[in-house]
Chains A and B, each alone.
Chain A
Amino acid sequence: MYPIMKNQEIAEDVHEIWVKAPHIARNAQPGQFVIIRTNETGERVPLTISRVVGSTIRIIFMKVGKTTHALAAIPETGYIEDIVGPLGKPSEIAYYGTVAIVGGGVGIASTPYLAKALKAAENRVVGILGARTAGLLILENEMADICDELHIGTDDGSKGYHGFAVDLLRTLINTEPVHAVWIIGQTIMMKVTSEATREMGIKTFVSLNPIMVDGTGMCGACRCTVDGKTKFACVDGPDFDAHTVDFDTLMQRQQMYHELELESFEAWKAAEGEKP
């Protein structure tokens, strides 16, 4: 049982929770993730480590299905049943020169942790944050504090540039030399955005988020096709070279349980409705 130290809504349907997990906090590095199980009947869900302070770790997620709704509903005095980690390989932190970190939607969650490490490695760090609308933009101040330069865009133009993050990235790489790029967001966003850097051959990482079960390389649920080979995102990733990832297969696999996930969520809502 791992206590929830803090739980708050930081944008519409987006929550940040702080979990006391010393066994994870002590060795966590940017790019790694945890798998949580909310309760005895819960599923195992992978979530990116967003920040570490002392023995607590921050997780940011959007309420989508049953587990994320249930997680958001846990009060600050509550706890989750299980949390394992840090899982996955850490991001390749090194000196590259100028690096761009592109975060989309709730994918922005892990960008400050990564930006801070890349900054500490003496890179010039340019942040690009994109959201559907201004109300869904998260961690802007945190990124502004870390990055040498920060660009904001929204799909509906309610804040910053009116358009997609990929446009801001294109502008950046056409203006100055960029030596490495991280793109973190929904799979379709990563697919589209990473096309911007392909032609110029800029080293580009994406952080994949397939369905997982154990997260330790024992089931292969998270298998992805990278450079024509099968890789397990849980132990070989989650960061991969964007230009070698088969995003279409990934998106298809992410949909495998779509109908069952809806069924589970409907059952949860019905049960919650019956509560006094």
Chain B
Amino acid sequence: MRRRAAEDRIHDFLEVDLGMTEEDAVSEANRCIGCKKPLCIHGCPVQIDIPAFIARVAEGDFIGAAEKIKEQNMLPAICGRVCPQETQCESTCILSKKGEAIPIGQLERLVADIERKRGPKLPDIGKPTGKNVAVVGSGPAGLTASAELAKEGHHVTLYESLHMPGGVLTYGIPAFRLPKDIVNFEILQVLSLGVELRTNHFIGRSLHVHELLRYDAVVLATGAGLPYFMDIEGENLNGVFSANEFLTRINLMHADEFPTYDTPVLKGKNVVVVGGGNVAMDAARVARRLGGEVTLVYRRREEDLPARLAEVHHAQEEGISFVFCAAPIRILGEKSLTGIECIRMRMDILDDSGRPNPIPIEGSLFTIEADVVIGAVGQGPNPVLLREIEGLTLGKSGNVVTLETGETSLPHVFAAGDAATGAATVILAMGTGKRAAQTVNQRLKGGSG
């Protein structure tokens, strides 16, 4: 993969990954053996016809390739960048058994970028059905559901509580991984299908539940935006952030451009990020770009990090220090914080997820100096709306309980994305959004809705 040098990229928020050249793309695509029973498609949560698009790349037909992808996925430039292909389509590629898989993500990204610059063709939209669907939340699941429903001719009202659509694509994932002009462009593509976007609407408050339920169908795609805290002493000291807050201040509110933009952020000299997922990597790399010396503390071993391997490597290249097998005990400071006290962990027997159970080692306390601490220890489903819908069955973590079809315990209410699954990936959210939309469509067109 071509990428910018670490010493250059830590000074800005421009994209790290430079993508693939057209020549390389054609030669990589020509390695595809065109399996009779392609496994890559099964590895894709939205079932893109991967061999068909790769065949077009191999012929140099990049636009045709992009159009092929968009039959199944309206957000290809986003997915080409943030999907964990290495655990999905590329992991099931037969070539990966003996050597290198086809770089499907890079190919997707390239053809989407080429098509975007040329000006894409809009898909055909079905005859208006006269049915009204409310989609709550404009993140990956909501956008995908909206696009699918609009293509079928339903009138979709897409509600968003923030002033910008996109959900985690907008407030969560930093621009150096996912440039915002690309996000905005692909969102506009969805809206141009006739989806009516209403920003600044907090559903459950701006629109009460009984008003929402007047739609012919409702898709709940409210995401997993509720930040978990570490629940340790000192967590409310000035300088302690949830990763959600820290990233929102930068990605949505442009605090890195303060005071041109009004929103401030504390730029730490010594920043400690707690957690080991993609959100932790994003927070650490943002803090690095704000000029901080950044240490990431994770309670298990390096090989247990849930973040994408590439993101971990990028973080390491950018000079982020990793402290493994350690967990925070308390945050130190009076008015503002001075450090974080941690304890070493030893790895016990593997749990159900195949990861070792971390056990604190007595007497192994140590302190890391810090003026900013960012907790990236997970998120739960946004509870406000979900709890107010009478009769909606919720799971243990507050997620909406759904069937594979996206159906919930209420007849006209469907759920998709992290609101249903708990915090997962962009593409899994899109997959469930698509599935829910298909169910809604069958229901509305079948006349039994």
Partner-B contacts on A (CB < 8 A): 23-24, 27, 32, 37, 41-44, 66-67, 81-87, 213-221, 223, 225, 230, 235, 249, 252-253, 255-257, 260-261, 263-264, 267
Contact B161–A264 (Cβ < 8 Å): no
Contact B200–A23 (Cβ < 8 Å): yes
Of B201, B235, B335, the residue contacting A230 (CB under 8 A) is B235
Beyond the given A84-B163, A87-B205, A219-B245, could you list 16 further A-B residue pairs with CB under 8 A, ordered by the A residue number?
A27-B206, A41-B260, A42-B262, A43-B264, A82-B163, A84-B162, A213-B245, A214-B161, A214-B162, A214-B171, A216-B162, A216-B225, A217-B383, A218-B244, A235-B383, A257-B264
Cα(A37)–Cα(B253), bound, Å: 10
Residues of B within 8 A of A267 (CB): 259
Which chain B residues (249-272) contact chain A, with CB distance < 8 Å? 249, 253-254, 258-264, 266
| A82-B199, A82-B200, A213-B245 given; A235·B384 CB < 8 A | yes
Residues of A within 8 A of B162 (CB): 84, 214, 216
Please name 26 pairs of A and B residues whose Cβ atoms are closer than 8 Å in the assembled complex, sorted by A: A23-B206, A27-B206, A41-B254, A41-B262, A43-B253, A43-B261, A43-B263, A43-B264, A67-B262, A83-B200, A87-B202, A87-B205, A214-B248, A216-B202, A217-B226, A217-B382, A218-B248, A218-B382, A219-B227, A223-B229, A252-B335, A255-B238, A257-B266, A263-B259, A264-B259, A267-B259
Cα(A132)–Cα(B245), bound, Å: 35
Which chain B residues (192-210) contact chain A, with CB distance < 8 Å? 198-202, 205-208
Interface SS majority for chain B: loop
Of A27, A43, A217, the residue contacting B207 (CB under 8 A) is A27
Q: Is B189 in contact with chain A by the CB < 8 A criterion?
A: no
Partner-A contacts on B (CB < 8 A): 161-163, 171, 198-202, 205-208, 225-227, 229, 235-236, 238-239, 241-242, 244-245, 248-249, 253-254, 258-264, 266, 335, 382-384
Residues of A within 8 A of B201 (CB): 23, 84
Contact B384–A216 (Cβ < 8 Å): yes
| A27-B205, A216-B382 given; A84·B161 CB < 8 A | yes
A221 to chain B, nearest CB (A): 5
Residues of B within 8 A of A223 (CB): 229, 236
Residues of B within 8 A of A42 (CB): 261-262
B386 to chain A, nearest CB (A): 11
| A82-B200, A217-B225, A221-B245 given; A260·B264 CB < 8 A | yes
Residues of A within 8 A of B249 (CB): 213
Contact B205–A230 (Cβ < 8 Å): no
Instruction: Report which residue of A42, A67, A219, A221 has the largest number of chain B beta carbons within 10 angstroms of its beta carbon.
Output: A219
A231 to chain B, nearest CB (A): 11
Minimum CB distance partner of B249 in chain A: A213
Minimum CB distance partner of B237 in chain A: A252
Residues of A within 8 A of B253 (CB): 43-44, 213
Cα(A43)–Cα(B229), bound, Å: 24
B215 to chain A, nearest CB (A): 16
Cα(A16)–Cα(B200), bound, Å: 22
| A43-B262, A230-B236 given; A219·B206 CB < 8 A | no
Instruction: Report which residue of B162, B235, B262 has the largest number of chain A beta carbons within 10 angstroms of its beta carbon.
Output: B262
Contact B245–A256 (Cβ < 8 Å): no
Cα(A264)–Cα(B225), bound, Å: 29
Residues of A within 8 A of B235 (CB): 230
Cα(A243)–Cα(B198), bound, Å: 39
Residues of A within 8 A of B236 (CB): 223, 225, 230, 249, 253
Instruction: Report which residue of A43, A253, A261 has the largest number of chain B beta carbons within 10 angstroms of its beta carbon.
Output: A43
Cα(A230)–Cα(B233), bound, Å: 12
Of B163, B198, B245, B383, the residue contacting A220 (CB under 8 A) is B245
Contact B205–A218 (Cβ < 8 Å): no
A175 to chain B, nearest CB (A): 39
B169 to chain A, nearest CB (A): 14
Residues of A within 8 A of B264 (CB): 43, 257, 260-261, 264
Contact A219–B248 (Cβ < 8 Å): yes
Residues of B within 8 A of A44 (CB): 163, 253, 263
B243 to chain A, nearest CB (A): 9
Residues of B within 8 A of A213 (CB): 245, 248-249, 253, 263
